[in-house]
Amino acid sequence: MSAIETQFQQVRDRIQAAENACGRAGAVKLLAVSKTKPASLVREAWHTGQRDFGENYVQEGIEKIQALQDLDGLCWHFIGPLQSNKTRSVAEHFDWMHSVDRLKIAQRLSEQRPEHLPPLNICIQVNISDEDTKSGISPENVQPLAAEIVALPNLKLRGLMAIPVPTDDPAEQHAAFQAMSGLLAALQERWPDQGLDTLSMGMSDDLEAAIAEGATMVRIGTALFGARNYS
């Protein structure tokens, strides 16, 4: 097995074990975070059966999307902070946007989504740990923003995303993810027909806690592709 095959298998085994431990077999999708990694590595990952990839930088992501157009079934997720002058590029090239935290961004994505494409899947980013330096809205503002997004024509609100403050304390990990599950449950109760099925949370160091508390998508980069190269 190649290094990529080995690393993907190890992460999939971790996800499966975490699912089985809480009775959620098959409930979690692996989102491979390919930022700073070359298209050739994404291609290798595709050969292992991986189809969902996450990018943090608009131009880098578009270059990979264009370089890998020959691969079937790829699904591209934008997961980084987004400036309003970059919304058109995301609306035109990506399938998912995980980091919506203000109405202006959502409105521009809806207006700029090409008519021939299906609605852009949206997650609202929540600043669940109330960090000054982190993107995302406060929990009390989730429902008002969700109400605005649900009304936009070319978007489909799918759920919530969070990056809790890093901690080695399992209790703190579980508490943040449990709070996210409660926020999604409240949205599902208010909009039962919206198809709100996504909790994008959990990374290499805390995926077990995230899955135990209801994550449906875990965003893993380093454990799959190795350390990132920011040079």
Q: Is the dihedral of CA 97, 141, 217, 55 positive or negative?
A: positive
Query: HSE of 150 in the Cβ direction (CA atoms, 13 Å)?
Result: 16
Domain count, the chain: 1
What CATH number corresponds to the domain at position 195? 3.20.20.10
The string of DSSP letters for 162-190 reads E-PPP-S-HHHHHHHHHHHHHHHHHHHHH
Query: pTM for the whole thing?
Result: 0.96
In a domain, 231, yes or no: no
Instruction: With beta carbons less than 8 A apart as the criterion, state whether 206 and 162 touch.
Output: no
Instruction: With beta carbons less than 8 A apart as the criterion, state whether 220 and 24 touch.
Output: no
In a domain, 78, yes or no: yes
Domain that holds residue 96: 3-225
**Tens digit of each residue's pLDDT, the chain (231 residues):** 889 999 999 999 999 999 999 999 999 999 999 999 999 999 999 999 999 999 999 999 999 999 999 999 999 999 999 999 999 999 999 999 999 999 999 999 999 999 999 999 999 999 998 878 788 999 999 999 999 999 999 999 999 999 999 999 999 999 999 999 999 999 999 999 999 999 999 999 999 999 999 999 999 999 999 887 766
